[in-house]
Amino acid sequence: MKHVTHIQDLGPEGVEAVLAQAAAWKFKGPSQPLFPGSILGMVFFNPSLRTRTSFEAVMLRGGGNAIILDVGAGVWKLEHREGAVMNADRAEHLKEAAPVLSRFVDMLGVRTFSQGGGDEEDEVDPIIGAFRKWATVPVVSMESAREHPCQGLADVLTLRETFGSTKKLPVTLTWAPHIKPLPKAVPNSFLLSAAAAGCEVRVAHPPGFELHPAVRAEAEAYAKATGGSVTYTHDQDEALAGSRAVYAKSWGPSAAAAYSPNDVTALLASYSGWMPTLRTMSRAAKDAAFLHCLPVRRNVEVADEVLDHKSSRVVDEAGNRYHVQRALLHWMRSHSR
């Protein structure tokens, strides 16, 4: 049984295999339906637009089906902590819920954002870990505390479609402002996927917004294996120089627990100058593409003039979620037999 909840479950070889299949089927679809009679169970602890529709579309167009469960909205609230005394609002434990769901579906997708317990807890990724432990069918991440691997794969597919190859492609992952501290799953996944695809990744963020050392070490290992590289700077312009792609994403401070809600809002506001504008894009290469995972808060996180510019690939990038997920579910099934 093959779970894919982190890029590590694929490694650079798996990333290549999934991306190659996704690109091939995007050009000329599979000769027959891929998932006839199969059901994907989709468990959402958090909202979604792209992930929900793209996974469901993959199953429906592939001859299968999807069952969507919104935790706490028509479905029992779920406990994941072993040994928990369940005397609050979580009425069902994942020890039962995951194997029970596994009796009815062929694969399980799970979306579970960071619980806000800090970077160390996100590194453990406790809820997706509980699904991995207790499910008896393959589990695919639809974004968890540490990573959003399907987003990372779609990002790299978009880079390859734009530039032909990602080998040593200079790309900047830049922090962007927001009204509240966001999880690090998306920046982590872009960093890991781009490093696994051989990019020259520059990460730019204000001081105090470092990504977790274990994520950085993993990215370093992928870059070493693929001939890519990873560098970090607090200077956005330095990172942008010569970059062929600008990937903007907001994330919260490394020591989020040290701040009161008001302090963290003030901290984020103090870096409003990091919002990508056309001036920001002019610091990158002439043909630079702009990427963002969406949803995006216009004129807070990214300026209208960037999102509406011809260099923006954000809609194609979202569309690629379908293509990488179709290839990924097929890869997981063929590695689970």
> Does the annotation list 115 as a binding residue?
no
Residue type, 62: G
Sorted by sequence, the CB contacts under 8 Å of residue 81 that are 6+ apart come out as 126
Decide if 158 contacts 168 (C-beta within 8 A).
no
What does each C-alpha distance from 330 to 34, 46, 322 come to in angstroms?
7, 25, 12
CA distance 337 to 329: 13
User: What string of DSSP letters covers 12-66?
Assistant: HHHHHHHHHHHHHHHHS--SS-S-TT-EEEEEESS--SHHHHHHHHHHHHTT-EE
Which range in 69-77, 213-221, 265-273, 293-301 contacts ligand CP by CB under 6 A?
293-301
**Residue 74, Ramachandran bin (φ over 0: left; ψ between -120 and 50: alpha; else beta):** left
Minimum CB separation of residue 290 from ligand CP in Å reads 15
User: For residue 285, which of 308, 311, 307, 305 has the smallest C-alpha distance?
Assistant: 311
From 293, 307, 324, 332, residue interacting with ligand CP (rule: CB under 6 A): 293
Indicate the angle between helix axes 11-27 and 213-226, nearest 10 degrees: 70
Q: Residue 113 interacts with ligand CP (CB under 6 A)?
A: no
Q: Report whether 150 belongs to an annotated binding site.
A: yes
Q: Which stretch binds ligand CP (CB under 6 A): 2-10, 22-30, 45-53, 169-177?
A: 45-53
50 vs 146 by CB, closer to ligand CP: 50
Q: According to the annotation, is 321 in a ligand binding site?
A: yes
Residues in the interface with ligand CP (CB under 6 A) total 9
SS3 104: coil
Quick one: tokens of 277? Answer: 């504008």
When the beta carbons of 52 and 93 are compared against ligand CP, the nearer one is: 52
Residues 124-143 that bind ligand CP (CB under 6 A): 143
Instruction: For tokens 């997981």, name the residue.
Output: 332
Q: Taking CB under 6 A as the criterion, which residues in 47-66 touch ligand CP?
A: 48-51
The stretch near ligand CP (CB under 6 A) out of 44-52, 88-96, 115-123, 324-332 is 44-52
Which is nearer to ligand CP, 321 or 330 (by Cβ)? Answer: 321
Please indicate if the annotation marks 199 as binding a ligand. no
- Considering only residues 140 to 159 of the shown chain, the ones binding ligand CP according to CB under 6 A are 143, 151
Quick one: which of 294, 300, 319, 335 contacts ligand CP (CB under 6 A)?
A: 294
Q: How far is the CB of 178 from ligand CP (least distance, A)?
A: 14
Q: Which is nearer to ligand CP, 226 or 320 (CB)?
A: 320
Hey, what are 10's tokens?
A: 């694929």
Tell whether 283 is in a known binding site. Answer: no
Backbone angles phi, psi at 115, to 5 degrees: -85, 0
Question: 48 a known binding residue?
Answer: yes
DSSP secondary structure letter of residue 137? S
Q: Which residues are annotated as a binding site?
A: 48-51, 76, 111, 143, 148-151, 178, 249, 293-294, 297, 321
- Interface positions with ligand CP (CB under 6 A): 48-51, 143, 151, 293-295
